[in-house]
Structure 1
Amino acid sequence: MLPLKYFVNVVSLFICSALASDVNRVNVAQEQRVQYARDDYLNELLEKALVSAQYPAEIHTVLIHPHQQRTLIALDTKNLDLYWSMSSPERESLAIAIKVPLFKGYIGKRALLTSKNSMNRFKDISTLEQLSKLSAVQGHDWPDTKIMALNDLHVRPFANYQAMFTLTGTGRIDYFPRSFIEVNSELMANKQSNLVIVPNLFISYSTGFYYFVSKSKPALAAAIEKGLKIMQNNGEFDALFNEYFAKDLNSLPYEKGNTVELKLKNPYF
């Protein structure tokens, strides 16, 4: 995992010879939890996108409670300009969704975290029906929770992020699905928790993870979208993504030709 390069309260972007009076303040919501490589990536990607779009900006992070839906509502009520999140129809109604998939679809590929003592529960699983006999945990306001329930998986919603790792590590919950993007960072942060990734078995569904911008800041949204597309076209987007995630993705315990991917339907995407 890369070092935390952007653990700062203010990041200033100076573009060309823009005067200080021309610089736009951008308030970015940051959850009050451990910051992972994905957070550093999203901060750096945002900075580079604004530079590419030649949008002079001063980025300020604003600490928030990790409640995703409430944060999107707050974009228009509490002086917040931007938040990043997995998409859903409800979320796209609350803010401007910049529909450039920030994690290239990997946010919908879910490794199954489980306790070392629970590994045997997964050894013969090859269908969703079999997996539905086990218990999973997800955030109470996460789109993933609805998706899993719609596919008849047994999922328990929780509000406390850290408690989900604890419950899984103690075996009270059978598994905790985490995206390919996040899972290695989270394992590192929970090294004493008895958690492991179930090998050669994962679930997946189509979804997007986007920047969401306050409806009162359409110019900011347009600039970010422009910058991201410039980066996609010139290769900078892929280069940054690979810098952060290529090693972790290649290290996941999935043998080619010997891995079961259980595909879920997502009617919300």
Structure 2
Amino acid sequence: MLALPGRPQGAARDVYVIDHNFSRPDSRDRYTLLLLNAALEASSARYGAYELRRSPLGMERDRLLSEMKKGELVNLSAQITSQEWERGLIPIRIPVDKGISGYRISLITGSKQAQFSAITTLEQLKRLPLGAGRQWSSTAVFLHAGFDVAQGNSTAGLHSMLAAHRFEHFPRGIEEALFEQAAYAPTFPGLEVERSLAIYFPLPRYFFVTPGQPRLAERLEYGLRQLIADGRFDQIFHDFYDELIDKINLRKRRVFRLDNPLLSPQTPLANKAYWYDPFDHK
């Protein structure tokens, strides 16, 4: 429990119950928890003490949305946005990871690297079936763009499908691709991160708060804006992601850009400070 120093004992605290995914070992969730703590600390002078608790249950996305609406088992989650989530909850429309979730690199059978290296157009890429989760926001983007999408119910299931050659590649966020390649390679020795391409579409991941506790959303948004204003948001992002960005050579990949027709009109696409651009060398 983290409290503002000097706050009287017994004073009311803002209690955030975060979803079980924050306990996972992959880097995305460690980064998000780091940013969350920094934002809440940055808001402490104005809003006082707070407490972070973890929901005891792991839930798939649909169940998590249902429980988030109630606000009993969980009241805060960081998720790739969707219209359903934005309608049912309070979205804080500041991309948690500066939109880097929208850069997708693929996991493939390593022996097929030459096939991917030869791709120079989006139409060529669309001819190769890809795998994606049934409930994922990215799946609808791929389908709308005209990709052949084999859908699975879980990440583990999709890795099994890739190993069985049910599709040719499995687009993932950069941290997911590196983490999962290491995790699944012992049972799928041919699994590799594809080296030449990336797919990009705007796909912000936001903090969402249960609709019955607007103060929690107001406080967290205030803290995030404080971090942006003093440069700490960018510092946290670059401290965490620059090594991953370099490791997968994002700046040297051919990037195929897709539209995302599912985004809310309120998506802050015009605010360049909110989005990471690997090709902006300022």
Task: Confirm or deny a common fold (TM above 0.5).
Answer: yes
Aligned to 2:53: 60
Per-residue displacement from partner, 1:109-133 (whole Å, max 9, x unpaired)? 1001111133233232222221222
Measure the CA separation in 1 of the matches of 2:108 and 2:56.
30
**Structure 1 residues 246, 95: closer, same or farther in 2, change over 3 A?**
same
Per-residue displacement from partner, 1:6-40 (whole Å, max 9, x unpaired)? xxxxxx11113223432222111113984211111
Unaligned segments of structure 1, at least 5 residues: 1-11
Aligned to 2:267: none
Q: Are 2:234 and 1:238 aligned?
A: yes
* SS of residue matched to 2:25: coil
1:197 to 193, 197, 204: 193
Higher mean C-alpha displacement, 36-45 vs 121-130? 121-130
Aligned to 1:5: none
Aligned to 1:77: 70
Corresponding pairs, count: 256
Measure the CA separation in 2 of the matches of 1:174 and 1:139.
15
Counterpart mapping for 1:127-206 below 5 A: 127-192=121-186, 193=188, 194-206=190-202
* SS of residue matched to 1:242: helix
Aligned to 1:21: 11
Q: Which has the higher strand share?
A: 1
Aligned to 1:224: 220
Measure the CA separation in 2 of the matches of 1:14 and 1:33.
21
Shift of residue 165, structure 1, vs aligned partner? 2.0
2:84 to 84, 90, 99: 90
Aligned to 2:266: none
* SS of residue matched to 2:19: strand
Per-residue displacement from partner, 1:168-210 (whole Å, max 9, x unpaired)? 2443321110112432222232232332122221111012110
1:215 to 206, 211, 216: 211
Equivalent pairs: percent with the same residue? 25
Q: Which has the higher helix share?
A: 2
Aligned to 2:107: 113
* SS of residue matched to 1:262: strand
Q: Is the 8 A contact 1:128 1:153 kept in 2?
A: no
* SS of residue matched to 1:75: helix
Q: Is the 8 A contact 1:202 1:262 kept in 2?
A: yes
Measure the CA separation in 2 of the matches of 1:226 and 1:32.
21
Higher mean C-alpha displacement, 205-214 vs 191-200? 191-200
Per-residue displacement from partner, 1:238-262 (whole Å, max 9, x unpaired)? 2211222110111114563xx3211
Higher mean C-alpha displacement, 158-167 vs 93-102? 158-167
Measure the CA separation in 2 of the matches of 1:13 and 1:131.
48
* SS of residue matched to 1:156: strand
2:246 to 235, 247, 250: 250
Measure the CA separation in 1 of the matches of 2:114 and 2:165.
12
Unaligned segments of structure 2, at least 5 residues: 264-282
Measure the CA separation in 2 of the matches of 1:30 and 1:207.
22
Aligned to 1:3: none
